[in-house]
Structure 1
Amino acid sequence: MSSARSGLLLVISAPSGTGKSTLIKRLRQEFPRLAFSVSYTTRPPRPGEENGRDYHFVSKEQFHQLQVDGSLAEWAEVHGNLYGTSQPAVQEMLNKGSDVLFDIDVQGARQLRQAFDYGSFIFLFPPSRQVLEQRLRGRGTEDSRSLNQRLANARRELEQAELFDTWIINDDLEQAYRDLRSVYLAEGLRSRYNGELMAHILSTWTESKLGSSSDG
């Protein structure tokens, strides 16, 4: 018999090209209860991306209106595009007991850290600059200018890693996933997410049961 459990926040950040998307996809496949926080963005969809599944793709005018309405828990500008998280949508998922995953940049993670007094904040490291550059080149989507910009941004993000509770290096994908999985499972065992557990267990210690046993 189990007691009700409240939703937790899992915030994951990493420099572009670290392999964050691959790890997150695998985590969500193994744990269907882990809801994905779909962000708003003003950047155009990439091949294979769907509106409402990967991002809510909006115009800059629509994004600014969300800011004015106070509907964003966090927002940031990354590579010239705006990204933001819907406060009402996140709160609704947490109220239903769903764990909520945030796949956001360091700026957004910092705002979430200020907005919420709980959650597990995870930073993924590439093994080295050289490996990160190889991965970015392997995409075949970066010209020389954008590659240099992403590497410069990665350096700035790495310098802010102390904002996060847990550091994971994605050198070996299998090991990185085991580490990420362990952090998520451990977070779910914290007392703040299991507020009804103690009362549920203590309710089995009834006076009648205590009184039915005697040593004579």
Structure 2
Amino acid sequence: MNPEQGLILYGPPASGKDTVTTALTGLHAKYAQFARLKVGSGKSTGYRMGTAEQLHELEAAGNLVYANTMYGNTYVIDRPGIDAAFAAGVPVVHLGQIDGIRALVDGYPANWSVVLLWCPREVTEQRSAGRGDSDTAARLAAWDATREDLDAHPGTTWDLTVDTTAAAPQDVARLIDQLLAQRAGAASA
């Protein structure tokens, strides 16, 4: 059996997860960013906004794959959402926690490729300010937390690691697309 392919992009804020995902969707329509369920307030673009009651219902039904709290909100990867994303193509899941990667890979069987997108802290600060974020300080704290997360999990392996200050988003998208094509070929062999 050849399980469905999924893609996890891991990295600190402003490391290029959105930009690379946009380049991937421009490369092939099969790629689509997974819209996590967001319980809270603030930016709603790219999320499925939900309620605390929905979160409790997902948890009670065993459909909560992973949840984390950041920026005063709860972000959820849910089984029905991932099911729908796989039905539409290749989901691209953005994560900033290694525990989230492990929860998704272990909790939702698929042929997951995991890509580390990285940029220095000062680049996160410049990109965040450049895109008009009102919470750049919180994003820098999240960058610090991502660095600590990496340091705390030295055995984590990546299918691909990219410094997004050294590679154009379209080039990164092509590398990822090639990676998934190679993994699909290996899985079907």
Work out whether 1:170 is the aligned partner of 2:164.
Answer: yes
Aligned to 2:117: 124
2:6 touches 2:110 (CA, 8 Å); kept in 1? no
Residues 82/141 of structure 1: CA separation in 2 closer, same or farther (3 Å cut): same
User: Distance between the aligned counterparts of 1:56 and 1:140, measured in 2?
Assistant: 22
Match of 2:91 in 1: 100
- How many residues of Structure 1 are paired with residues of Structure 2 in the alignment? 184
How much has 1:185 moved relative to structure 2? 2.5
Aligned to 2:61: 69
Q: Secondary structure at the match of 1:111?
A: helix
Instruction: Please give the TM-score of this superposition, normalised by the length of structure 2.
Output: 0.79
What is the SS of the residue equivalent to 1:18? coil
Unaligned stretches of 5+ in structure 2? none
**CA, structure 1 residues 147+41, in 2 after alignment: closer, same or farther (shift >3 Å)?**
closer
- Counterpart in the other structure of 1:35: 32
Which protein shows a greater Rg? 1
RMSD (Å), alpha carbons = 2.9
Bigger share in strand: 2
TM-score (norm 1): 0.70
**Structure 1 unmatched runs, 5+:** 199-216
- Of all paired residues, the percent bearing the same amino acid is 20
C-alpha spacing 1:131/1:166, structure 2 compared with 1 (3 Å): same
Contact 1:9 1:120 in 2 (8 A): yes
Q: 1:189 aligns with which of 167, 182, 185?
A: 182
Q: How far, CA to CA, are the matches of 2:184 and 2:166 in structure 1?
A: 32
Is the alpha carbon distance of 1:42 and 1:6 closer, same or farther for their aligned partners in structure 2, counting shifts above 3 Å? Answer: same
Letter in 2 for 1:59: T
Cα pair distance change 1:70/1:123, threshold 3 Å: same
